[in-house]
Homo-oligomer: A and B are copies of this chain.
Amino acid sequence: MPNDSTARERLLEGAEALFRKQGYAASGLTAILEISAGPKGSFYFYFPGGKRQLAGEVLDRYGRRGESAIRALAQKHSGEPAKFVRALFRAAAKMEATQCTKSCLAQNFANELAPADMEMADQLAAIFARWRAAIAAGLASEKVSRKAAEQKAMAILAALEGARTLARAMRSSAPFEAIVEAEWL
């Protein structure tokens, strides 16, 4: 089970790339295997649950990666919430959105699968909750109550996700610049 064989790894990476570019339904298994140079025959050895399981694991990694990235930023700008928020938005802007091949995986899955696939919905809710908590941690100070921080974190997360969508559609980083300028604290 702690199987980190390269093939499996490549599959996860290839799948993430495709899911973020075109969504879940449009990313055929064959295409995933192809761009991963994945061993076709043993796909169901690694992922007996098929495409759906693969998606779940990809999302899990994605969620964790996101959370730790946020926490790293929070630590770096500890005690300076304003700087932290700016850094957060800038990071998102730089990383992904403008180059339109990468959208937010969680957003894609929320739109495509959430209502029909309860398990997926739960997983997504958990991920967003963790992200929000991580952001709230970066916002903490004596001035704001915990509850207020959580609420602000939620708003910030919403703005971030929305900016990603807008940036992808407009092929511009203007949305990120706009939310950087807003007053969040």
Query: Interface residues, chain A, CB within 8 Å of chain B?
Result: 21-26, 100-101, 103, 106-108, 110-116, 121, 124-125, 128-129, 151-152, 154-155, 157-166, 168-171, 174-175, 177-179, 181-184
Contacts and interface: CB of A to CB of B under 8 A. Distances in A.
B169 A128 contact: yes
A155 B169 contact: no
A64 to B, nearest CB: 16
Looking at A107, A121, A165, A175, the one whose CB has the most chain B CB atoms below 10 A away is A165
Grouping DSSP codes into helix (H, G, I), strand (E, B) and loop, the A interface class, with mixed when no group exceeds half, is helix
A178 B159 contact: no
Contact of A174 (B24, B113, B154): B154
